[in-house]
Structure 1
């Protein structure tokens, strides 16, 4: 049974319930003062607690999408995201390959021209040699005859770390495709293509969208390889005013950084509960290898102070109660405003934690904001 399987969760709950009932039932029999009775009491309490923690952990993982599999949980993920081309004459068939197609979760329409489509794809970066799975949402209009000559704006959507791309698609989680379709249907945003993936392109390492010296070139993948791969497969705009990037947590930091570093690629970025400086911890490893310039560039505070303000639009979100980034976010807004060139908007909730429920409240207005800043050609 998989880590995210409902069967695993149900089994853990059943085991916890049985152990709890067994503890209550057997406790009087284990009240004697001998080593067997004491060992029995300790064993029942220990295994009941473990079962309860397992149930809560599995439920939390299903709700927030922290880990995709048991291998991911225990750090045994072996896919480093590097693709070696063994094809004849160096031909890969293109940097983006469609693996499968499905309907939009929560939308009852069999035909894509009525309900849109979600495509699972594999993207291979010809520059970085990074391979990453992704999901692409195509709105119904993409398949309709009257739009056959139209190019569509694109929003790249990034998860947090160590989130899963599937959590961006699932109706029970962040629900981006369904939300985008309903907003467009209601006339609150234009039809857009969404490209949804993890910022972690070299799992299990958290690369923070940095070009790591002698390591994964994550920033180049998102700034060059990904847009070129999408442009090779779909009818999308090629100018920066057709491209935006949105993400939560780590994905939010990456979104802001990509737009600030590459305004010639992304004209707008939305960071949901972002932070503003790449951390260094056991999940990231040494991202900068003593390269002070690279380290400074990954610090958005330093960037605003020492480099020319980029011509791009930013959206940041936080909450007054429940988010640790509230004070930093208010300071970031002030610093961006002082540039008089970079445009800044915000969504500040009264309360809301660092979780899916909070981001689901922010996603509809963030998509509307993004739509208002992108142009189809």
Structure 2
């Protein structure tokens, strides 16, 4: 019986319902003795456990966290297979510009929390008019005097829906994965920028510029980069900026890279998809509006000079079709590396493991993230 199949879900609900009714009947018939109290307690515990399991089974079937019994038990083969379509990722970047002159660094304003690696900014976008939070994780050595003339590459991370900017610090272990990759010499020290994505908070914006509504794409691709460049020691060339996201944030990461290659040279997509999927009211009404955010369509028609690293699984119905469509649509100079992780579901533990691999890919492929490259040296 399949873990996410309808018969198993129905069986779990039926067993729980029968246990609840049986427990209520037996509890009323037990004697008012110590043994009777033990029986009543055991019946209540059993019903509570079955109820929790039933809820977990229903939610798992809806969200596809674990796709089968092997995935749940951890016995599926976790080996991922990567294939690249389109152009060569290393061929899409021009010469990496020199770092900014040191005078611009001296004029940077003080940080909100000068002694912390995690900084939180409250920003009103000059172009979008949106006000939201931006959470930043600085490199470990950012405040070191020896690094005062150093500029860092940037990864802008996008959370899923529902979610918050802080999610990337914990859920996919963003901080731990970045620190480990830097320590192992797989990627240059970098700044992780996690902006608010939903306006108003709790709304599934799919991060697009809604006609007559919130201009979330403008916020992400103009206002947030403007904030980062004006407040932090970061590189400004496209070969030193990448987007990354999981689930709905995976779509967002691909979207900003595909539609704004002048800002983002690369994108990391973890369990994402190729077209916006609104959970509530659809804000894109005309075919022209929909085509503008249909990423396989854009890869075919515009061929942006970006490299995408896209993780999915044949067991993840949320991302599989859209991710494979991205790979199939890639034409040079666009490069799509599709990482197929068979038998895994739609959950953060899977994305955390693959984010570590994606960081190594950035270090190997995108010049600004290379250890010892122009972005990795103090000017």
| TM-score of the pair, normalised by structure 1 | 0.69
- 2:74 matched residue in structure 1: none
- 2:303 matched residue in structure 1: 309
CA distance in structure 2 between the partners assigned to 1:174 and 1:328 by the alignment? 21
Judged with a 3 Å threshold, the aligned counterparts in structure 2 of structure 1 residues 144 and 262 are, in CA distance, closer, same or farther, namely same
Judged with a 3 Å threshold, the aligned counterparts in structure 2 of structure 1 residues 50 and 355 are, in CA distance, closer, same or farther, namely same
- 1:168 matched residue in structure 2: 168
Within a 5 Å distance, the mapping from 1:95-106 to structure 2 comes to 100=113
Residues 1:271 and 2:269 aligned together: yes
CA distance in structure 2 between the partners assigned to 1:128 and 1:349 by the alignment? 38
CA distance in structure 1 between the partners assigned to 2:294 and 2:165 by the alignment? 25
Q: Give unmatched runs, 5+ long, in structure 2.
A: 1-18, 31-39, 64-108, 369-374
Give deviations 1:212-247, integer Å, cap 9, x for gaps: 111100000111000001111100112222211000
- 1:345 matched residue in structure 2: 337
Is the 8 Å Cα contact of residues 97 and 122 (structure 1) preserved in structure 2? Answer: no
- 2:138 matched residue in structure 1: 138
Within a 5 Å distance, the mapping from 1:50-199 to structure 2 comes to 52-53=51-52, 100=113, 117-170=117-170, 173-199=171-197
Residue aligned with 1:128, SS: coil
CA shift at 1:49, angstroms? 5.6
Which of residues 211, 233, 236 in structure 2 aligns to 1:235?
A: 233
Q: How many residues align?
A: 291
Within a 5 Å distance, the mapping from 1:213-232 to structure 2 comes to 213-232=211-230
CA distance in structure 1 between the partners assigned to 2:27 and 2:180 by the alignment? 58
Judged with a 3 Å threshold, the aligned counterparts in structure 2 of structure 1 residues 371 and 327 are, in CA distance, closer, same or farther, namely same
Which of residues 351, 361, 366 in structure 2 aligns to 1:359?
A: 351
Is the 8 Å Cα contact of residues 271 and 311 (structure 2) preserved in structure 1? Answer: yes
Is the 8 Å Cα contact of residues 206 and 278 (structure 2) preserved in structure 1? Answer: no
- 1:82 matched residue in structure 2: none
CA distance in structure 2 between the partners assigned to 1:258 and 1:188 by the alignment? 25
Residue aligned with 1:194, SS: strand
- 1:27 matched residue in structure 2: 26
Give deviations 1:46-98, integer Å, cap 9, x for gaps: xx6699449967xx99xx9xxxxxxxxxxxxxxxxxxxxxxxxxxxxxxx996
CA distance in structure 1 between the partners assigned to 2:121 and 2:49 by the alignment? 38
Residues 1:245 and 2:243 aligned together: yes
Is the 8 Å Cα contact of residues 277 and 298 (structure 1) preserved in structure 2? Answer: yes
Judged with a 3 Å threshold, the aligned counterparts in structure 2 of structure 1 residues 371 and 323 are, in CA distance, closer, same or farther, namely farther
Is the 8 Å Cα contact of residues 198 and 204 (structure 2) preserved in structure 1? Answer: yes
Residues 1:295 and 2:290 aligned together: yes
CA shift at 1:286, angstroms? 3.2
- 1:325 matched residue in structure 2: 319
Judged with a 3 Å threshold, the aligned counterparts in structure 2 of structure 1 residues 374 and 206 are, in CA distance, closer, same or farther, namely farther
Structural RMSD (CA): 3.4
Is the 8 Å Cα contact of residues 199 and 254 (structure 1) preserved in structure 2? Answer: no
Judged with a 3 Å threshold, the aligned counterparts in structure 2 of structure 1 residues 213 and 237 are, in CA distance, closer, same or farther, namely same
CA distance in structure 2 between the partners assigned to 1:132 and 1:55 by the alignment? 38
CA distance in structure 2 between the partners assigned to 1:216 and 1:330 by the alignment? 30
| TM-score of the pair, normalised by structure 2 | 0.68
